[in-house]
Structure 1
Amino acid sequence: MSKLSTEERNALPDSAFALPGRRYPIPDKTHARDALARASEFHHRGELTDDEYETVVRRAKEVLGEE
């Protein structure tokens, strides 16, 4: 799992997150892959809505160049 320090996370612009509330940071490919894995897990557990999951997948794929 990719790690961001609190300072690094706070320095990221809101656009570097897949969801509002600064959830699912995706500033680079490593974090985008991690966001896909975590979103899948949380979606299957019912902790992410279908729309939230689809947003994370779409935004992460943009970062990965898999649009």
Structure 2
Amino acid sequence: MSKLTTEERNALPDDAFALPGRRYPIPDASHARDALARASEMLHRGTLTQEEYDTIHRKAEDVLRRERM
């Protein structure tokens, strides 16, 4: 996954994040894939709700679908 600098992350619009509070940045396919992996891990640890996981999954899949077009 490519790293986002603080400046790059701050420059992203709010809709480039899967969750409120600017959590789980998904500006591109690489970050979307990483968000899916991290969300699964956090769900299994119990630090993410099923609803949050579902939101991340839906938004990340949308990004991946757009990248494939």
TM-score class normalised by the smaller sequence: over 0.9
Equivalent position of 2:18 in the other structure:
18
* Aligned residues between the structures: 66
After TM superposition, the score normalised by the length of structure 2 is: 0.92
Post-superposition offset of 1:3: 1.3
> More helix per residue: 1 or 2?
2
Equivalent position of 1:59 in the other structure:
59
Which amino acid in structure 2 is aligned with residue 50 of structure 1? Q
Note the alpha carbon deviations across 1:9-61, whole angstroms, 9 max, x for none: 00000000000000000000000000000000000000000000000000000
Unaligned runs of 5+ in 2: none
Aligned-residue identity in percent = 74
Equivalent position of 1:40 in the other structure:
40
After TM superposition, the score normalised by the length of structure 1 is: 0.94
**Over aligned residue pairs, what C-alpha RMSD do you find?**
1.2
Runs of 4+ in 1 over 4 A off after TM superposition: none
8 Å CA contact retained: 1:2, 1:34: no
Unaligned runs of 5+ in 1: none
